[in-house]
Structure formats: structure tokens, C-alpha cells
Structure 1
Amino acid sequence: MAFEVKTEILIHSTPEKVWSILSDFDNYPNWNPFVTSLTGDVKAGNKITVKIEPPEASSNTFKPTVTAFEVNRKLSWLGVLLFRGVFDGEHKFELTDNGNGTTTLVQSENFIGILVPLFKKQLDNNTRRGFEAMNTKLKELAEQK
């Protein structure tokens, strides 16, 4: 079973500025309403520790593996519950330079595994709202003069 949560927001700022906020992991507790902590050496292939706090849901801390870290473009990681195929989630932040001083941020997560149907409603509600809250706050920060 597979299920994707995908959100998108237009930010009136450069990819460099958006990336500088997105990749300032030490500052997440100060502004990020969804990913409230991200620690570790964020490089492709490395494990990191991520704490998420979806709206109206329990917080969760997990240790995903970074799958991509491309400055000003993309950050992604893969989290696995117990072992592959049970409940896996690949989370992505993708920045697109629109060439006019704006950046499109796509935040998505593709969930795969036998437990996905049990969590589909929560993912589509709480997780999606968490993505949207984070996107909105990132937009506010990046658009500040």
C-alpha cells in the first residue's frame, strides 16, 4: 500500500534565502511548528534524528536516513518503522527557482507499507496540516525584509 501527502507554497524570496532557513536545523525549535527538532550530520547516507509534532496528534521522534541533500534544491530522508515494508516514509523538501524572485516549495512524503491503510486518515489530516503550518511559517520568515 502507498499513500502520498503533498503540499506546495509560493514564496516571494530566492531559493538561497528559503534554503538558509530550511537548512538552519539548530533554529527549528524557534520557528518550526511541525519538525520541532532535527539533529545530526545532514549528509546523504547519514542517519539523523527528527522530531515531528503534527497538529492534534502525538509527537514522534525517529531516526531516518538522509537520501538527498542538494544545497538550494532538495532535502529528503527515509524513515522506516521496524523494518522495510511495514511503514516507510520518504519525506522531501524541493525548491524550484521560478526565475522571477520567487521560489516554489513542495513538501511531500510518500508512505509505503502494510500499515499505511491504518494511518491514511491521520496522515491526510494531521500530517498534511503539519506540512501546511511549516510551509506557511517558512514563507513568513523568508519574505521578511
Structure 2
Amino acid sequence: MKEIHTEIEIAAGKDEVWSVLTSFAAYPDWNPFLRTVAAALRPDAPVAMSVAVGARTLDLDAAIMRVAPGRELRWAGPISRLQGVVFRGEHYFVMEEIAPRRVRFVHGERFAGLAIPLLGGWLDRTLTPAYTAMNVALKRRVEAAAAR
């Protein structure tokens, strides 16, 4: 098993962070990592996404695992069980209120599968900066909206 874990503090309430995080149609306007996401916010709903990884864009699929408005969104993929034996990820976003109008946004992914020993270093080098860039962009977008 391999995990990528990032965090950032956002000066806003959990509902404001949740609103921006789950407004998937606006992702192309601000999100440097998850370029597009199409999904209904309910468990087992399919997720179709395009992710920017370095200079490449990858189209991936997943399924929603958990939806807890204002607290947590989680999906896992790929949907194919055969592919999942080789490589599987469970992506999570968690919002923790640490003070009034202050949220710790936790963003990460747990990976498993036969390919993980070969891909672990690449995942660290590629995904940690991508997740961090998304966190910074989310913080800017949420805080700008909260200031209006």
C-alpha cells in the first residue's frame, strides 16, 4: 500500500469549501489537476475525470465511495476489478473545522495493487505536487469567494 497525503488551511467555513469542491462544472476554470469531473454526489455513482499529470492528461474512471456534505468526499477506481488488481486508488478529500471559519483541507489517495512497488516513487514525484497545486488553487478560489 502507498499513500499520498497533503493538507492546507483555508480561511472559510466547511460549507464554502464543500461548495467549491463539488462544483465540478467549474473545475476547468480553476483546478490545475482535476481538469474535468463528471459525477453525481451519491455512493456508487460513476465518476469520469480527466487529470493533468505532468504534461499529460489522463482520462480515468472511478466510483463514489462516500459523500458527507461539508466533511468528506471519496472515490475509488478504476471501476474494472481486473485493472484494480494491478493498480487501484482511493482518492479522498476531508474538511476539518479547526476554528470558526477555518478549515483544514486534507487531500490524498491510498494506492494498492501489483504495480505499486514499481510506481511508488513516480507517484510521490508526480502526484504530491499536483495535489498540492490543486489545494492552493482551491484555497485561493474559496477565500476569494468568501471575501465578497
TM band (smaller chain): over 0.9
Higher strand share: 2
Give the root-mean-square deviation of aligned CA atoms: 1.2
Deviations 1:58-109 (A, max 9, x none): 2211110100111111111001264332100000000001132200000010
Alpha-carbon separation, structure 2, partners of 1:118 and 1:68: 29
Higher helix share: 2
Alpha-carbon separation, structure 1, partners of 2:84 and 2:33: 24
Alpha-carbon separation, structure 1, partners of 2:72 and 2:27: 17
- Spell out the pairing of 1:21-60 with structure 2 (5 A cutoff): 21-54=20-53, 56-60=54-58
SS at 1:98 equivalent:
strand
Aligned to 1:12: 11
Q: Which runs of 5+ in 2 are unaligned?
A: none
Q: Which runs of 5+ in 1 are unaligned?
A: none
Work out which of the residue numbers 59, 65, 68 in structure 2 matches 1:67: 65
- Spell out the pairing of 1:1-145 with structure 2 (5 A cutoff): 2-54=1-53, 56-80=54-78, 82-144=82-144, 145=147
Alpha-carbon separation, structure 2, partners of 1:27 and 1:127: 21
SS at 1:75 equivalent:
strand
Calculate the TM-score normalised by the size of structure 1: 0.93
Letter in 2 for 1:88: R
